Amino acid sequence: MQTSLWYYTVPMLRLAELLVENSCLDRVFICNSGLEANEGAVKLARRYGSLNLNGAYEVITTNSSFHGRSLAMTAASGQPKMHEPFEPLPVGFINVANNDIEAVKAATTDKTCAIMLEPIQAEGGINVPDGDHLKKVREWCDSNGILLILDEIQTGMGRLGTLFGYQLFGVEPDIMTLAKGLGGGIPIGALLAKEKASVFTLGDHNATFGGNPVTSAAAYATLKYVLDNNIVGNASKVGQYLMNGLKALQGKHAIITEVRGRGLLLAVELNTEIAEDVLMNCLGNGLLVNRLKPNAIRMVPPLVIGNNEADEALSILDKALASVAMGG
């Protein structure tokens, strides 16, 4: 069940090989959670800054982002409500306006070692970047010699209708983090990096239970199933079907102001703060949704659903919206 990371195991190697073969990254560090993966990504970027950027250590992140709940990742997450209860927070994180390349440029200094983004902000509201925004960030990183970290803990593993979110936007990260769907329910995380950014040396980083044979085997089986059964294609196809259905509901219910997202990561924004009422009504009728904000709900269904399940969900949501609008 457990082998120290001082040793390689076959399941660990098989998982790492499959991840590298199907991504643009070259090396893999396996850990236990998305939080650990993000901590490792920032640590790796700082090590890169120490070696290659005259000690640069700051990481630029964006408002409404979410990267985890450790002290460092709380600071990285651009949400003041998360910051206030735990101040003073660790230094080295600069939160700027989301989807704003000029804000990123203005925040970049000789202390900057990396920019860390979610391809689509998940917890922050299913916020999809404009057009070529991520390409502009990639170009800015390249022109300044700094690293691009993509937090794909929620967007990776087929969620957006591509295996990884970066593929949807035509960019390649220097560092990428994965978790959640990677293990198919088993706790695991992974930090991936391109060769140029792989600057850890022996002893720089570790994880007591990271890469153990059980979780590595589960993650390998999950990824192999996703690849062999075109789960990504299903997420894309059914995601579009569900999006079309949600847009039809928007035309029917004036309380829906926007439907947004990609693949099977979708949000419905409402014109008043009734998301809790909609959520409870949906739950009462067998549909699991998530209240993102007082005026928005999120739908993050299993990647294996079909159109029939999407129709059932749309029917329940349709009735919930009608009921709440009537004060029910």
**Catalytic residue status for 151:** yes
State the greatest distance between any 2 C-alpha atoms of the chain, in Å, as a whole number: 63
Residues 265 and 14: their CA atoms lie apart, in Å, by 29
Choosing from 93, 151, 174, 209, the catalytic residue is: 151
Residues 259 and 270: their CA atoms lie apart, in Å, by 9
Choosing from 29, 66, 164, 169, the catalytic residue is: 66
**Catalytic residue status for 66:** yes
Residues 140 and 148: their CA atoms lie apart, in Å, by 9
**Catalytic residue status for 174:** no
Q: Which amino acid is at 235?
A: A
Q: For tokens 């659903």, what's the residue?
A: 305
- Going by C-beta distance under 8 Å and a sequence separation of 6 or more, which residues neighbour residue 218? 183, 184, 185, 186, 188
Residues 284 and 69: their CA atoms lie apart, in Å, by 30
Choosing from 93, 164, 169, 180, the catalytic residue is: 180
Q: Which amino acid is at 300?
A: V
Put the strands of the sheet holding 265-270 in their side by side order.
256-262, 265-270, 296-299, 290-293
* Element holding 259 (H helix, E strand): strand 256-262
- Going by C-beta distance under 8 Å and a sequence separation of 6 or more, which residues neighbour residue 187? 32, 33, 215
CA angle 74, 79, 158 (to 5 degrees): 80
Write out the catalytic residue numbers.
Answer: 66, 151, 180
